[in-house]
Chain A
Amino acid sequence: MNEPHQTSGPGGEAPPRVPVKIEEFCAALAMALICCITFANVLVRYFTNASFAFTEEFSIFLMVVLTLCGASAAFARDTHIRMTFLTDRLPSAAARKLEYVVLAAGALMFGVMAWYGYFLFRDDWDYQTTSPGIGIPQWIYTIWLPLLSAVIFLRIIGRAVRLVRGAHSGGQA
């Protein structure tokens, strides 16, 4: 499903200046919490016959955080699943131009997600919606979609900047 290469993308780009460790840590934490909550759920049900299935809602929220944080790290490292079968066979200048288009498409996607996601959050904030399971304000969940989409947006812009810089220094060398 994934190629297990952890190094930087095509052309040996410079690593990002803001370390990816931050998103890595958040994604790993979300993963660990999902496991612990679900495990606790199994133990409690086994020993007491009670269930706290309402934690499902929180686990699902953690999964969304895990997805967006992990995806951000993967954008910074260029490890997303993509078909490079055709672009690998192009001359490098043309391939780089296409890469800019691809990055622009990515930036557009997460720009839209951040901007309109913000309105989703505002709805929950203004109408004081509470979550169906635990009963905490819903905006605590929905705020992360625009916030983390904005982080991904910045990661994509960051990769574009590194690519442009790499092209310039590569041209001189």
Chain B
Amino acid sequence: MKKKPVKKKTALKKPAVRSKKPVQPKTSLPPMSLSFDGTLATKTGTWRYLTPAYLNKLAPCNEGCPAGEDVEAAMVLSGQEDYIGAWEKITQENPLPRVCGRVCFHPCEAACNRKEYDEPTAINSLERFVGDFAFQAGKRFSPPAEKKNEKVAVVGSGPAGLSCAYHLASLGYGVTLFEALPRLGGMLRYGIPAYRLPKDVLDQEIDQILALGVEPRTNCRVGKDVKWEQLKKYDAVFVAAGAWRSLPLRVPGEESAGVMSGVTFLKKVNSGEPVDLGERVAIIGGGNTAMDAARSALRLGAKPLLIYRRTKEEMPAWEEEISEAEEEKIDFIFLTSPVNILSENGKVKEIECIRNLLGPPGKDGRREPRPIENSNFALPVDSVISAIGEAPDLSFLPPEFQKSKDTLPVDEAGATSLERVFAGGDVVAQPRTVSYAIGSGKKAAMAIDATLRGRNAAEAIRLARWGEKGSLSMARYRSGGGDGIAREVVRFTELNTAYFPRQARKPGEKLSSKERTKGFSEINRGLPPAAALFEAKRCFNCGVCNLCDNCFFFCPDLAISARPDRQGYEINYDYCKGCCICVEECPRGAISVEVKK
């Protein structure tokens, strides 16, 4: 039998008894599944197909302001109680906030998104508050950074001329301001009564503009006191002569003594000249001039009777004017037109009228009044004021001007057919309001500056637009349109009103009804400071981030954080999944969606 091979017994190694060294498995992993890194390597931004962005959209108030104010910025700063900052924003565009805050028809408030929610923000009252505040605080316009060599002539010192003079002076140009009447201001002084716009306020506003070095030449009518050719020595001319020619009534007796135009009447009143209206005065017309005339007449002691050919609903005057006139117990007669003014012994005795009914709309879309046969009746009156409309008087302009029948034609840049001659305000075809006039003065300043600097005026103006209603921004103009504000306007549906409690507007303070008609004291006393701040805080701040932190807080992906300058937020697109919660929860529509390309 073969011997089985004997396996050598190897001695088992005995491990040292006292060995206490812990034994570690050789591995680069931790024993258990632990995290060591954050998840920042996972760029979840690749999931996105809708991209939110801070498009800082345009607020509708900015678009709606014919004077081109950055209304929203002014509201935002006012909401932070920075009224000086708000004043600076306003006066960057409009040198007359204390005026506009008293007389503007505030289309900004009509456009205000808050109107769809409860009541529009009291922008107009706030403009007045800010203007008054800054004035009382001693704020005045800063002189221009640099002076330019060119000189510009501005014909007419109404709101259009004043605005143009201000902007040109701020741009460094020399400006001479020609004014036919004894004092500056145009319609602001000679049209609008003191109970709406106190004269001292107007003087203070104008003085500020003059302090920039604008040379005023009053009692100086172009075409009479100075010839048009003399203006040719200026590098550019802005014609803002306004619309002072009253439209005739075309009724017999119109030329009698005791019958005057609304414009003439108001000029006298606002110059402090005495006017004898007798006991009763008929005011023909339904616009603002008629209202101003009627209410001024009341304050002179006469009993005004306002005669208008259509109904109250069709009156073109501002609603506030009409309602205040009603509060002052001014009599209105509607659907009535004058047909004859009868005088006796050289004094007006009565006005014969005819009743109208409203026919179908005419070519301006408004229903035409049609006299009702044999409905004549007479009203005893001592004077008649005719305020059925005004038109510019273009006779002072040389024949080479292409003149249309009523207004001076201009292109989109406000340029006339003559080189380096621009026009604006009531003298051109645009709505006859202070704010439009101010806007057109600014446009002219832009056009003149662009032209003198060798740029395309129309293009420069186009880049300066706020929105689609023609409003222009000097801030935009100066920055070449690169101010970072998008051009789309934020609509109410883009807002998230869950973040706004419903709040009624704070009413401004007014003189009591009894006090009002005793004289020409200002009726509106404005908002007291607490109410002003309350109103400013009611502003939604449409389209502009005001650091409410919603987007920051609600982002599920922590993709929104402070911008380096901490003045806004930015989105980290490496991680933004495009859920758009930020867009939805932004109370003011400052974030919008772009579709990823």
Q: Do A and B bind each other?
A: no
User: B interface vs A, CB < 8 Å?
Assistant: none
User: A interface vs B, CB < 8 Å?
Assistant: none
